[in-house]
Structure 1
Amino acid sequence: MDTLTPPGPSRPEGFAALHPLLQHHVVNTLGWPGLRALQEQTIRPLLDGQDALLLAPTAGGKTEAAVFPVLSRMATDDWAGLTVLYVTPLKALLNNLSERLSDYADWMGRRVAVWHGDVGESRRRAIRADPPDILLTTPESIEAMLASTKTDHRRLFGELRAVVIDEVHAFAGDDRGWHLSALLARLEYLVGRPLQRIGMSATVGNPVELLRWLQGGVDGRPGRVIAPDIDLDGPRTPPPAGDAEVVVDAVETLDSAAVLLSKLYRGGKRLVFVDSRRQAEELASMLGQASVDVYLSHSSLSAEERRRSEQAFAEARDCVIVATSTLELGIDVGDLDRMIQIGAPNTVSSFLQRLGRTGRRPGTVRNCLFIATEPDHLLRTLGLLHAWGSGYVEPVVPPPVPLHLVAQQIMAALLQEGALPRYGWQERWASSPLMSIDTLERPAELVVDFLLERGYLNVDGGTMFLGPNAEAVFGRRHFMDLLTTFAMPRQFTVFEGRREVGTVEWRALSDVEGPIRLLLAGRSWQVTDINWPRHQVQVEMVDSGGKAQYGFGGADIGQAIAQGMKAVLLGELPEQIRLTARARAALADDQDRLRHTASVHGPVWSTAGKAPQWWTWEGSAANRRYTAALGPALGIELTPQHGVVRPDSISLHPHTPIAAAAERLEFWSALPEEDRPLPDVHQTLIKKLKFSEALPIEWAQKVISQRLTS
């Protein structure tokens, strides 16, 4: 439970506005002497029905700030039935919140239930038959409820009044945000009234714009950003030195990091973040072999395995839990002593989320030890910390031109309603910007025209229905593919007897000579049988030799971090951090090797290698734009058009004159934005864009190109 700092001798006005029964339990059941500033300031606006974006650090009491006023409204206005949806990005976060929110609801004689992909059909039947007052769920589960023929949508959702969205930044920055925005609009159309929208986040660089997105871009909706510790109108301010203990170290390999971790901070609880599931498995196995009490959390573990690890870690003391971003978003694993990061996250926002897991006990400070294990890790880490040290946090920006999600939403709405009018169907999304010309750069009606042309939709008498091609492409398992916006590689479920351990991708089982050994849940397994049609694998435990193999594409690095990397090369280190002797030596090597690539005057041309390089230090997206400018669309190809794009530099073809490239870039920069070429998109990327089959190929290419350069 979060602790409270007493606000003073008198209870401020907001607390007095809560329902008397809720006031009683806050004081007598929780034993709180008062509310935090965020909780106090949130009460009046939420009781008045305003939309709100609540901003506070991790463990800052945001859940109570949102839920207490909503429970008060529920009692005062005599809400009945399912009136509140509480939406989070992760199933594990729903499970984690369920007990706490159930306790709060019990005070008021209300009920809470959870619905996500791991909830069985018997529990779902009970929810349909007797809906709770608050339902904890995900966007994908809302879509599944709307699409289900077992659900009476109007009975289940007819009394809905409010939606609380936890970790709203995790939605708004990708396609799940477009999906959620569209679902909220469809729910409002279904119930015939606006729903109060309450979002919560710890780290946002553009809160006013995010509130506007949360409200669906609709004018006239009352709403406000509530952030007691943030000056929304002032310049960004660096975190004060001493506010957090941040140390940077460097070793040569992950094995060396495991040895270091086996000796550091013994007797305490350590949370170690890594960049990938493969790295998580490998590090956990190494730590286990070093006799460390180690647990594991990532998305390919079974729900039971994750719960076991997280519960054991929460109750243990001298232990380590190794995690991917699954433990970044608010899941309570108890009081942490140390947070350790192998490599670096790709955003300051992620770092702040992870840093906020520590320093919760009185007398402790937030802390993080970064350990660089690969050549690029150290400079990227220091670039990230330079951006953080300047007070920077990334703005949350929805992905551009979500044309594929327009197709998904139209087909999903047809699953829900059975039919849509040929004209006027846009009304269902009136309170979302998804269907607007500004968002799509063309009328949404053109997407419908293409779906009709390709047989995904049929028209009869002015009414649209799902067509035969929609069934052929998306009809597997009752159109399950239409319920989620993210694509996953083919998964095989791994069983030890009847116990589910987790999942592996097909590539871990294909083209393997000899016995197959997997590394999963930090342990090695020998594959004894593969049921290819059912996508199931039987295993037995072995001592060693397992391998973890998951697809992993390096994420983009933004401009602020890339600029931070350049600043570090030029000698600017954030004062809020400390480097170990190893890290200082490694940084000195990097500076000797790369100092010639960085200048305070702008990009630098270099001919030191096999091919000329342009050192921009502007980030991945900007360098893709420059790569397209130097491609065949504007003349002779001057730089390779496919392959990994670095955040720091672009390599020209060997023997390309620098003057020719500089002239091309000058010509490109003078072009109007709409005339500048976009990157060429490989066919494999189009296949990875979910629902790309429902778009003309040139539209799918444009969706991907604009996202690669935004």
Structure 2
Amino acid sequence: MHILLKKAIKEKFGKLNELQLKAFGEISSGKSVLIIAPTGSGKTEAAVLPVLDSILKNDLKPISALYIAPLKALNRDLLERLKWWGAKTGIKVEVRHGDTSAYKKARQVRNPPHLLIITPETLGIILAMRSLRDYLKNVKFVIVDEVAELVDNKRGAQLILGLERLAEIAEFQRIGLSATIGNEGEIGEWLKADVIVKPSLKKRYSVEVLFPSPDERDSELAEKLSLPVDVAARLRVLWDIVEKHGRALIFTNTRQFAEILAHRLKVWGKPVEVHHGSLSREARIHAERSLKKGKIRALVCTSSMELGIDIGDVDVVIQYMSPRQVNRLIQRIGRAGHRLGEVSRGYIITANVEDYLESLIIAQRAIEGKLERVKPYENALDVLAHFIVGLLIEYRHLPKERPFEIVRRAYPYRNLKWEDYEGVLNILQEARLIGYDEDKGVLFLRRGAYSYYYENLSTIPDEISYRVFDVSSGHIIGRLDESFVMDLEEGMEFIMNGKSWILLGIDEETKLLKVRESKSLESAIPSWEGEMIPVP
């Protein structure tokens, strides 16, 4: 191990833990590795430290490594964490995604970092950039964070095809990070890992399922908040848990319900904030820091907080109503007492008998370690079409069979039939995005291809949204979907960021809602697209 890295490890940890030592050995020997471990086990350093060691020892040229994480918020957190290691070792670490300024992006082209943190969508952009191509040829490591969040959707299929495109110009090891899952062998195949690394010490969980029944204390709260008495009982039990344990994360299954619950707790006078993907970056950072600094007791959140965003130590996790999946429960409860030797404590507060029984079974399976299989998304033909156009942007002309050969190397497309491939080619030709020279047997690019490629970089469905602007503070609070805004009129009230707001006006040209805070208890509850609750 390089002396600079040794010194940094001693300063940060004293020494590496068992998982980190195992991963260091396997990655340093040249293997592609899938690291599977619960939250708080030091997975990030397990993946990154052997990469930094190789950069130092072998004097690797930039860009030596890509770190791909599914959330921009996770990228922001990672940058802060990895910059510490970069400062200690002299290795340049930077981030690149949709919010990165044009100046920083241009600087990265002139003077690229050794380790670049990106999202899956950014990979599609940089692969098509001639100015970065020579640097991408230097890539020796690709780290994919939160693999289990990508495997079962089109985003993961697009990423894995992106890695095959990168493999055409660079030789690199693949390093995946994942929470515990039921089919780790298959996920290892998906990533093309040579070996799976896990800690020998099993994480311990304590889960209590509650079905609160109302008592005489709840009538007063029900009246104060204009709620049914059974809802008041659930709020009382929830806050009793927070008071008993300390700092808490309260998970809900949808953004809509996170807003309802946070609003009720705030009206009750409890020190909470809300955190989900439709709030502004500023609002989310404020919520994260408020919990970390102890300014609030609890954060009401959605899956936005399941992943490794740094919020300091959490004492307890409360799941409000059934999490619907064992994997999801484990991921969420793992945020409390998150170091390997600690017990992660969690509660599920249920709303009815069916919810209670389902939660009991899920909790029991979690304790027994019976996790669901994460099923890889296979043969997404729209993603395949985008991949073909991307390849042609890179190479201009390709033999007809070449994209098929490359795509079949990827696990999600290992069973792709030639007829389906030809069908996609025909659609792309009809759309005049690509052409085919029959005499030479070569595919080529047409003029409309560029706009199609860049407009379809994301597999996440687009929804027209409006920014919500607080005229009092001058800050953007978050975004609301057009489908909800269509029903709003001036003077109407709605909930966002756990507060009630009165609508002062709508600027259709800039898609802006002007609002100010109100104290109403009866406000409309926003709905957002793509909020399907997982069903086991």
Same topology, TM > 0.5: yes
1:424 aligns with 2:410: no
User: Match for residue 175 of structure 2?
Assistant: 198
User: Match for residue 501 of structure 1?
Assistant: 477
SS at match of 2:456: helix
- What is the CA-CA distance between 1:390 and the residue it aligns to? 3.5
> How far apart are the structure 1 equivalents of 2:8 and 2:280?
37
Q: 1:296 aligned to 271, 274, 278, which one?
A: 274
> How far apart are the structure 1 equivalents of 2:259 and 2:417?
41
The answer to whether the 8 A contact 2:205-2:367 is kept is: no
- What is the CA-CA distance between 1:416 and the residue it aligns to? 4.7
SS at match of 1:383: helix
Q: In the superposition, relative to structure 1, how do residues 555 and 467 fare at CA in structure 2: closer, same or farther (>3 Å)?
A: farther
- What is the CA-CA distance between 1:516 and the residue it aligns to? 3.1
1:224 aligns with 2:202: no
Q: Residues 231-275 of structure 1, C-alpha deviation per residue, up to 9 Å, x if partnerless?
A: xxxxxxxx89xx433211124755543343334332711100001
The answer to whether the 8 A contact 1:419-1:464 is kept is: yes
Tell me the TM-score normalised to structure 2 length.
0.88
Q: 1:355 aligned to 325, 333, 358, which one?
A: 333
Which has the larger displacement, 415-424 or 112-121?
415-424
1:132 aligns with 2:113: yes
- What is the CA-CA distance between 1:364 and the residue it aligns to? 5.5
User: Match for residue 581 of structure 1?
Assistant: none
Q: Residues 640-677 of structure 1, C-alpha deviation per residue, up to 9 Å, x if partnerless?
A: xxxxxxxxxxxxxxxxxxxxxxxxxxxxxxxxxxxxxx
User: Match for residue 247 of structure 1?
Assistant: 208
- What is the CA-CA distance between 1:441 and the residue it aligns to? 8.1
The answer to whether the 8 A contact 2:242-2:298 is kept is: no
The answer to whether the 8 A contact 2:153-2:376 is kept is: yes
The one-letter code of the counterpart of 1:145 is I
User: Match for residue 521 of structure 1?
Assistant: 497
Q: In the superposition, relative to structure 1, how do residues 262 and 206 fare at CA in structure 2: closer, same or farther (>3 Å)?
A: closer
User: Match for residue 66 of structure 2?
Assistant: 85
The answer to whether the 8 A contact 2:470-2:515 is kept is: yes
> How far apart are the structure 2 equivalents of 1:439 and 1:81?
35
The answer to whether the 8 A contact 1:310-1:333 is kept is: yes
> How far apart are the structure 2 equivalents of 1:132 and 1:489?
34
User: Match for residue 656 of structure 1?
Assistant: none
User: Match for residue 392 of structure 1?
Assistant: 370
Q: 2:5 aligned to 22, 29, 36, which one?
A: 22
Q: In the superposition, relative to structure 1, how do residues 258 and 182 fare at CA in structure 2: closer, same or farther (>3 Å)?
A: same
Tell me the TM-score normalised to structure 1 length.
0.68
Q: In the superposition, relative to structure 1, how do residues 534 and 412 fare at CA in structure 2: closer, same or farther (>3 Å)?
A: farther
> How far apart are the structure 1 equivalents of 2:252 and 2:128?
37
> How far apart are the structure 2 equivalents of 1:371 and 1:292?
18
- What is the CA-CA distance between 1:515 and the residue it aligns to? 2.9
User: Match for residue 384 of structure 2?
Assistant: 406
SS at match of 1:394: coil
Which has the larger displacement, 80-89 or 249-258?
249-258
User: Match for residue 453 of structure 1?
Assistant: 430
User: Match for residue 142 of structure 1?
Assistant: 123
User: Match for residue 134 of structure 2?
Assistant: 155
User: Match for residue 481 of structure 1?
Assistant: 455
Q: In the superposition, relative to structure 1, how do residues 540 and 205 fare at CA in structure 2: closer, same or farther (>3 Å)?
A: same
SS at match of 1:53: strand
> How far apart are the structure 2 equivalents of 1:254 and 1:466?
59
SS at match of 1:152: helix
The answer to whether the 8 A contact 1:93-1:330 is kept is: yes
The answer to whether the 8 A contact 1:94-1:136 is kept is: yes
The one-letter code of the counterpart of 1:324 is T
Q: In the superposition, relative to structure 1, how do residues 40 and 423 fare at CA in structure 2: closer, same or farther (>3 Å)?
A: closer
Q: In the superposition, relative to structure 1, how do residues 69 and 403 fare at CA in structure 2: closer, same or farther (>3 Å)?
A: same
SS at match of 1:345: coil
1:208 aligns with 2:185: yes
User: Match for residue 538 of structure 1?
Assistant: 514
User: Match for residue 343 of structure 1?
Assistant: 321
User: Match for residue 569 of structure 1?
Assistant: none
Q: Residues 366-414 of structure 1, C-alpha deviation per residue, up to 9 Å, x if partnerless?
A: 1111101255321221221232244311222212331221112123334
The answer to whether the 8 A contact 2:40-2:340 is kept is: no
Q: Residues 273-293 of structure 1, C-alpha deviation per residue, up to 9 Å, x if partnerless?
A: 001001011111111111111
User: Match for residue 111 of structure 1?
Assistant: 92
SS at match of 2:347: strand
Q: 1:186 aligned to 134, 159, 165, which one?
A: 165
The one-letter code of the counterpart of 1:489 is E
Contiguous gaps of at least 5 residues in structure 2: 213-228
Q: 2:30 aligned to 49, 53, 60, which one?
A: 49
User: Match for residue 465 of structure 1?
Assistant: 445
Q: In the superposition, relative to structure 1, how do residues 387 and 31 fare at CA in structure 2: closer, same or farther (>3 Å)?
A: closer
> How far apart are the structure 2 equivalents of 1:547 and 1:94?
30
The answer to whether the 8 A contact 2:378-2:412 is kept is: no
Which has the larger displacement, 83-92 or 390-399?
390-399
The answer to whether the 8 A contact 2:290-2:296 is kept is: no
The one-letter code of the counterpart of 2:261 is L
> How far apart are the structure 2 equivalents of 1:303 and 1:364?
31
> How far apart are the structure 2 equivalents of 1:354 and 1:331?
12
SS at match of 2:257: helix
> How far apart are the structure 2 equivalents of 1:385 and 1:296?
25
> What is the percent sequence identity of the aligned residues?
29
SS at match of 1:172: coil
Q: Residues 564-585 of structure 1, C-alpha deviation per residue, up to 9 Å, x if partnerless?
A: xxxxxxxxxxxxxxxxxxxxxx
Contiguous gaps of at least 5 residues in structure 1: 1-17, 216-221, 231-238, 559-710
SS at match of 1:38: helix
